[in-house]
Structure 1
Amino acid sequence: MNRIALLLRGLPNSGKTTTAALLRNQLTPAVRISNDSVRYMAQPRDFSAFTIEASELGCLDLAISYLDSGFTPVIDGVFEDTDFLDAQHLRFRRKGLRLVTVTLMGGLDDLMDRNSSRDPLARMDEDRMRELHAQFRPGGLLLDIDGKQPEEVADDVLDLLELTSQGEEEEAAAAIDADVLFLRHGAPDYPQDVYPDPYGMGLSERGRDEARAARHAVERFVPHVVYTSDFLRAEETATLAAGPLGLDIRRDAALRERVFHTLAGTGLAEVRTLLGEEAERVLNGNSDLCEHGDEETYEQARERVLTFFGKLAALHAGQRVLVVGHGGPHAWLVEKALGAQMRGIRRMRWDTGHFSRFRVGPDTVSVDFINRSPEDIARSPRPVKEEP
């Protein structure tokens, strides 16, 4: 049931409230979200289109919040507007979530019988019942409730959810994209007076703290494998963030930042003389517009990185991959996702120790989010890691 919200919709007297409570108790940890209760908290408490739509949207917002905390929300209400629900299903999918709608369908005679058996103060006007029944549109998964007790209906809903989950797993297994969580290395311990040697420049104390802080987020993501650049600051980050979790960490030179190796250890004054007007940008981490001697060109570096991700997608299709690396490779991945040329432009913020998430195919890239903190990632529901 991971990352699924269940919405039970139906006419009054269809048993939504009791069935939702039964399902909440069986899907623990779960929470029941009643549209009637949410609507009752507002003023006015009428049945106008304004208040109904606001309460329904509030229910779904609350469901997303509970999903982020690891609960299975069970929402119940009439939810008459199926066009509204279609939009909400799309909204959930875009967040990597699943909204499953089950419509409890009862015949008019059965609903009338249920209505007449209720306390007189809780009964609905019969003419109003007929009106609602005539205009109610089915949506989502349909479940016949005629003559059934709430316990039977709850069992039927669980059967539908199991079938839905199986279908979702088959769909995921057939996916061709790799799910890539890209972690920027922690803050480096920059030398004060020379161009840094990327193999000798490790993390600062702050950078080690950032790497350790990322560990719980990595654990929540449950990667199948971890790739890291072979530059020391990235390797140390991967070791601190993923090593204690017993994950397979693979070093790959293709993930390196573009640097000028022949300048390593050169004094900053000489670097400024050699690189001219581009020196300050290079020293601040943006070498896009600078070429130097026989060093790797910008285009060669960009091609190196994008080739790596294309091969990674083929090797880990349908799997979750943690990549620990640098600003340049991240910028080229974003560039491909957006279909834009951004050479020299590093205005898209990506802090050290922060995450971005991509869907990477052999020839395609899409981006889910950029520059999210470890705390945000750690609040996401934990996916189930498949057994080999």
Structure 2
Amino acid sequence: MLNVRVLVLSKRKYMGRDLIADRYGRFRELPLALSRHGAIVHGLCLGYRGGDEVSVLDESHGGRVDWDASKLSRLLPLGSGSYRRRIDGIAETFRPNLVWACSDTLHATLGAWAARRLGARLVVDLYDNFESYPLHRMPGMNALLRRALRRARAVTCVSEPLAEKVRDEYAVTAAVETIGNAVPDGLFIPQDKSACRRRLGLPDDACIIGTAGAISATRGLGALLDAFRVLRQSRSDLHLVLAGPDDGSLPVPVDDAHVHRLGSLPPADVPYVVGAMDLSVVCNADSAFGRYCFPQKLYESLACRVPVVVADVGAMSRLLSEHREVLFSPEDAEGLARLVEQRLRDPVVPDLPVPTWDTEGARLLAVMQRALKV
């Protein structure tokens, strides 16, 4: 096997989590999986909103990644602690032969610069359609992203619709591969529903629907709130659970005993939220963001064997093309209410394989090995 020495470049906080403190998500799990499959991995993350500057060893199930966390101000080319000096130090002590640049356009651009400075190959990861981010309203941001992608030996995308967009619109010559989201092995498993509800203080005799993820209008949750109001008119036993960071963009009731706002929970508690539900609602919006993302909560729900209804947009439309009985139009609250009622009477857990980060990590390593041979 090729000797793969990977430098991972990422922002520190994403999806409402801290890569160092919470040890959560794609940019933590895939580097660990790479390590388990034989790569040697070092990570450097930037905190955009402060955070301690630390060096930590992240070890899990046989994988190990050394992470350095720096502040955004370290991008200034001043002093021994600057980002440039840190990259030079990594060149001397770690000697990476590949840079995996993740999380946003800034890091795609930093990755292209670092790969040139290190004499390493570049692989850029797109876990969202970065063009949908507010930062891309600034002139020149789209050009920066496209320039970085053209310098890459491979591009990894979170969904097939996003991979197709890159192939069709970005004029890249590199291989474009889909490396999807996944679940940690052994964390999301079938749960005892009553035990989950007791743990979270939820009523055991209620019919509970809900979602675990970002509570935001940009994620299409307005339809869920409206559908819940419609259903409450005929179902006094119905309760709604919302777990995740709330950006305040939705009028979530604060004085309704049937609406349970759990806030941002530790990652290890999310399986109990999913396990407490009679029906998991996977929302999304038909937007420049929603058409290209991959809602991880679908796989989390399927791994827990919890019935689902899912917004019919982007990657979900394709993945569930043979299970259209669980799909709803993302802006249609009345249609969602009817579908929820149907799936509560006749629950459906689509029979789909649920990838783990280990399986996706093996696929990512193969992409990197090919990039080193090009």
TM-score, scaled relative to structure 2: 0.28
Higher relative contact order (CA 8 A, sep 6+): 1
Q: More strand by proportion, 1 or 2?
A: 2
TM-score by length of 1: 0.28
Q: Greater CA radius of gyration, 1 or 2?
A: 1
| Structure whose residues are more often helix by fraction | 1
